[in-house]
Amino acid sequence: GNSVTQMEGPVTLSEEAFLTINCTYTATGYPSLFWYVQYPGEGLQLLLKATKADDKGSNKGFEATYRKETTSFHLEKGSVQVSDSAVYFCALSEGGSQGNLIFGKGTKLSVKP
Amino acid sequence: GAVVSQHPSRVICKSGTSVKIECRSLDFQATTMFWYRQFPKQSLMLMATSNEGSKATYEQGVEKDKFLINHASLTLSTLTVTSAHPEDSSFYICSARVQRSGYGYTFGSGTRLTVV
């Protein structure tokens, strides 16, 4: 079945450090891929997405590229801020009107000043 | 736009009682609502999918008689945890597909249920 595997947390970084959170997936078809962010006490918010191979999603300085050959969608940011502290979820959807989201376990990021 | 309001944010109840969680779409019509459960340090696990005006579709292993889902209108879906037990303590989140934005899903802020 479909699944998402992302790196275990927590990840602790200093401000302005480079961030990578690894995400790999298993899918039978051609899924769309997403990164969601959950700030403390809030619901999940879509951070970025990519719907086909080689697409790059980007938002708020975060980027992720849909790599079909490695079945990966790693999240990167060149310089993190304290305000980026949150839990990040990688997810996939097989798409279509019937698709629903399958999530990874989430990675907690803490950024220290 | 495309906001889902989820209430309550936190609830503590006694074993054997029932708890209702509401999710309302504030500025769009949610024909489909997803209910997830999140255990500590675990992923969000899909419990069920509800479509307005029809019975919910439950994922394998989810007790439909324990987790009652009602989606009677295009703006309201409810999850009722019946005869709650401590093992039902968890974080419950609803999500709606936002048709107008293509692949958009919007999430409620979650409900922390503690059964004592």
* pLDDT score for A34: 92
Summarised one tens digit per residue, pLDDT across range A73-82 is 999 999 999 9
User: Using the beta-carbon criterion (under 8 Å), do A32 and B104 form an inter-chain contact?
Assistant: no
If we measure between CA atoms, which residue out of B87, B84, B109 comes closest to residue B20?
B84
User: Using the beta-carbon criterion (under 8 Å), do A49 and B103 form an inter-chain contact?
Assistant: yes
Q: B91-109 burial, b if ≥16 CB within 10 A, otherwise e?
A: bbbbbbbbeeeebebbbbb
A-B contacts (CB, under 8 Å): 46
Mean pLDDT of all residues in B14-40:
91
* Highest-pLDDT range among A50-54, A102-106, B36-40, B78-82: B78-82
In this prediction, residue B44 has a pLDDT band, given cuts at 50, 70 and 90, of: confident
Percentage of residues of chain B with pLDDT beyond 90: 62
C-alpha gyration radius of chain A: 14
SS3 sequence of chain B: CCCEEEECCEEEECCCCCEEEEEEECCCCCCEEEEEEECCCCCEEEEEEEECCCCCEECCCCCCCCEEEEEEECCEEEEEECCCCHHHCEEEEEEEEEHHHCCEEEECCCEEEEEC
Summarised one tens digit per residue, pLDDT across range A5-16 is 998 889 999 999
User: Using the beta-carbon criterion (under 8 Å), do A32 and B103 form an inter-chain contact?
Assistant: yes
Q: Does A109 touch chain B (CB under 8 A)?
A: no
Here the tokens at position B71 are 């989606």
Confidence check: pLDDT of A85 > 90: yes
Summarised one tens digit per residue, pLDDT across range B76-114 is 999 999 999 999 999 999 999 876 655 578 899 899 999
Distance, in Å, from the CA atom of A33 to the CA atom of A26, rounded to the nearest integer, reads 11
Q: Does A40 touch chain B (CB under 8 A)?
A: no
